[in-house]
Amino acid sequence: EDQVTQSPEALRLQEGESSSLNCSYTVSGLRGLFWYRQDPGKGPEFLFTLYSAGEEKEKERLKATLTKKESFLHITAPKPEDSATYLCAVQASAAGNKLTFGGGTRVLVKP
């Protein structure tokens, strides 16, 4: 069974304090790993797709990396507007178009 575990569950940061979120996964053949941002009461917003170990993607203060067992979302010098829940999801080779989501990490950036 495909599994995705995100840690920590919650993260409180001071503005400018860089940190990393972890997404550990177990899948039978990874097709892709996805990062989404979700604001309270809204639908997830797509951030990145990573396909193979060693791949990295960047967008503003966010950088996602991928190894064979986990992915990291690095937040560099965060601002209060980076406060959100960050969701990780994987797509397995045998799962068709289905995604398996982790529980998310709630990030609060204080000014």
Partner 1 sequence: DGGITQSPKYLFRKEGQNVTLSCEQNLNHDAMYWYRQDPGQGLRLIYYSQIVNDFQKGDIAEGYSVSREKKESFPLTVTSAQKNPTAFYLCASSDPRTSGNLYEQYFGPGTRLTVT
21 binds partner 1 (CB under 8 A): no
Nearest to 58 by CA among 92, 66, 67: 66
107 binds partner 1 (CB under 8 A): no
Of residues 21, 66, 84, 87, which one binds partner 1 by CB under 8 A?
87
Between 42 and 110, CB nearer to partner 1: 42
86 binds partner 1 (CB under 8 A): no
| Pair 101, 75: CB distance under 8 Å | no
Which range touches partner 1 (CB under 8 A), out of 12-20, 52-60, 71-79, 96-104?
Answer: 96-104
105 binds partner 1 (CB under 8 A): no
Q: What span, in angstroms and rounded, lies between the C-alpha atoms of 69 and 50?
A: 13
DSSP string over 67-88:
-SSEEEEEE-S--GGG-EEEEE
Between 16 and 29, CB nearer to partner 1: 29
Q: Which residue has the tokens 């080779």?
A: 93
